[in-house]
Amino acid sequence: MLTVNGRIDVWRIRWHCPREGTETLADRWLDEAEATISEGVREMACRLNQSSTSFEKTAANLARAAHLSISKEALRQLIEGEGKAVLRVLQRGELQPPWTAEDCRTAEGVSRMYLGCDGVQVPLVTEEEKQKRRTNIREKRRQRGRRCRPLPRAKTGADQAYKEFKVAHFYDETMKHRYVGATSGDHEAAGRLMQRMACQLELPKAEEKVANVDGAPWIRNQIEFHGLVDAIGLDFYHLRENVQKSRRIVFGEESAKGKAWLEEVMHTFRHAGSDAAWDQLVAWRSPLRSPTKRKEANRLMHYVAERKPMIRYPEFRRRGWQIGSGPTESECKTTTQRVKGRGRRWDGANAEAMIALACLDDSRMWQTYWITLNPARN
C-alpha cells in the first residue's frame, strides 16, 4: 500500500477451503475500496492539485513534499476519480454546509444573505482533437515497432471547444460564510442547483435575501422562478462597463468631455436612481446624428431599459446592501482556475469533477468530507 509514510507491506491471512479454493479476504477488500493508495495520500494529492497547473507538476510536488512517487497518469485518474466522488456527494445533498441563514447576522443583528451566479467558459477536448491524438499515438507506436496493448475505448469528444459551466455562490456580509456549487448543465440545472443550496442553508429564514448579478437574463429568470431572494440588483461595475463602452464610441477614447459625462451619469445611477439617469440618457442621445453613435446610444438605452427593475442602487445603499457582484466574480475565477489555462483541455465529466473539488475547498467543507464521508465513497 502507498501511504503518506511511503510504501508499506501488508501481511494478510489466506484462507483455504477444499471445495471453494483459496481466498485472501483482505485483498478483496483492498481492491474494492481502492485502498492500495491510502486515504491520506489521496487527500494530499487532491490538495496539492488545487494550486497546480498540471498533473505532472502535482506529481513532482507530491514527490518533493512527501517522497511519494506516482506517475502523472495514475495521479490524473486518482484525482479525477476523487472529484467524481465529491460531485456525487454534493449532488445527493449528503454533505451539509457548516452554517445556515441564522449564522449570517450583521453588526446590527439582521440575518442577511447574498446570492450570486455566473457562467464560466471551460475548454473541452473536441472529437476532432481526440481523433488527432489517437492517430498520433498509433503512429508513434508504429515507428517504435513494438507490440503494445490496444488503446482503450475512446470517449466521445465535445462538439465545441468551450462549454459554459454555471457557478452559484451564497455568502454573508463579511464573506466569513460562503457556499459554492457548480454545474455543467443548462440554465434550468443552474436554477435547481441554487434551489438545492438554498434549502440546505435554510435561506427562507434569512430576514434579508439579496442577489447581485451581472445582468444575464437567464440568471435573473432562474432566481425569480424559484423565488430565492427579496431583491435582485444589477452589478454596478457591469453597468459602468456598458456606459464606458458608449462613452468611448460617442466621445472618443481620450475626450475629457466624455469622461466627465461618464462620471456624471454613474453618479446619477448611484445616488438618484434609474429614472433620473434615464432622463440624462435621453437628453444625451437626442442631438446625436452619426449612425454609428446613434446605434451605440440605442444599444446602451436598450441595455438599461431591460434591466431597469434591477438598477436600485439608492435603495440598496440606504439599506446597507452591497451593489456589486465582485465576490461571485472572484469565486468563479478561483473555482475554475485549475481547469483553465494554456494547453488545458478536458472531457466534460472530468472538468466537472475538478471543479467539484474546488467548490468543496472554497465552501470550507474539505476537512468534513475527508473525515466523515470519504470512506463511504460509493
Residue 338 or residue 145, greater confidence: 338
Assess contact for 181 and 359: CB atoms under 8 A: yes
Which residues have CB under 8 Å from 225's CB, separation 6+? 191
Q: Which domain holds residue 262?
A: 237-310
- Whether 331 and 230 map to the same domain: the answer is yes
Q: pLDDT at residue 42 above 70?
A: yes
**Cβ pair 237, 141 in contact under 8 A:** no
Query: pLDDT at position 30, please?
Result: 54
> Are 83 and 11 part of one and the same domain?
yes
Q: Is residue 59 part of a domain?
A: yes
**216 with 277, same domain?**
no
Look at residue 318 and tell me whether its pLDDT is greater than 50. Answer: yes
Do 266 and 292 fall within a single domain?
Answer: yes
How far apart CA 53 and CA 184 sit, in angstroms, is: 21
pLDDT in tens, 106-142: 999 999 999 999 999 999 988 887 778 778 877 777 7
Q: Are residues 223 and 330 in the same domain?
A: yes
Q: Is residue 358 part of a domain?
A: no
Q: What is the pLDDT of residue 68?
A: 86
Do 106 and 222 have their domain in common?
A: yes
Q: Would you state the torsion angle of the CA atoms of residues 222, 166, 313, 270, taken in this order, to the nearest 10 degrees?
A: -140
Q: Which residues sit opposite 168 in a β-bridge?
A: 117, 181
Which has more confidence, 343 or 70?
70
**Per the domain annotation, does 355 fall within a domain?**
no
Secondary structure class of 256 (helix, strand, coil): helix
- The answer to whether 99 touches 201, Cβ cutoff 8 Å, is yes
Give pLDDT, residue 320: 96
The whole-number pLDDT of residue 23 equals: 73
19 lies in the same domain as 89: yes
Looking at residue 230, its pLDDT comes to 96
Grid-cell match 451593489, residue found: 323
Residues 17 and 64 in one domain: yes
Q: Is residue 349 part of a domain?
A: no
Q: Are residues 122 and 209 in the same domain?
A: yes
**In total, how many domains does the chain have?**
3
Confidence category of residue 378, pLDDT binned at 50, 70, 90: very low
* Residue found under cell 449528503: 94
CA angle 149, 155, 161 (to 5 degrees): 130
The alpha-helical segments, DSSP class H, found in the chain are 25-33, 39-50, 55-66, 72-92, 127-144, 187-200, 217-226, 236-251, 256-271, 274-285, 291-306, 313-318, 326-336, 348-362, 366-368
Say if residue 48's pLDDT is above 70: yes
Name the percent of the chain lying above pLDDT 90: 72
pLDDT in tens, 209-240: 999 999 999 999 999 999 999 999 999 999 99
For residue 360, is it within any domain?
no
Mean of the pLDDT values across residues 17-39? 66
Are both 74 and 115 inside the same structural domain? no
CA distance 165 to 332: 10
Q: Is residue 212 part of a domain?
A: yes
Q: Are residues 48 and 82 in the same domain?
A: yes
Task: Establish if 112 belongs to a structural domain.
Answer: yes
Q: What pTM was computed for the model? A: 0.85
- Rounded to whole angstroms, the Cα distance separating 186 from 160 reads 15
pLDDT over 90 at 158, yes or no? no
When comparing pLDDT for 375 and 227, which is higher? 227
pLDDT confidence tier of residue 37, bands split at 50, 70 and 90: confident
Q: Check if the beta carbon of residue 83 is closer than 8 Å to that of residue 354.
A: yes
Residue 187 pLDDT > 80: yes
For the chain, the average pLDDT equals 89
* Residue 41: inside a domain: yes
Assess whether 183 and 329 both reside in one domain. Answer: yes
Q: Which range has the worst mean pLDDT, 152-161, 203-212, 248-257, 288-297?
A: 152-161
CB half-sphere exposure, 339, CA atoms < 13 A:
31
Name the residue among 171, 86, 35 with its Cα closest to residue 369.
Answer: 86
Residue 276: count other Cβ atoms within 10 Å of its Cβ: 13
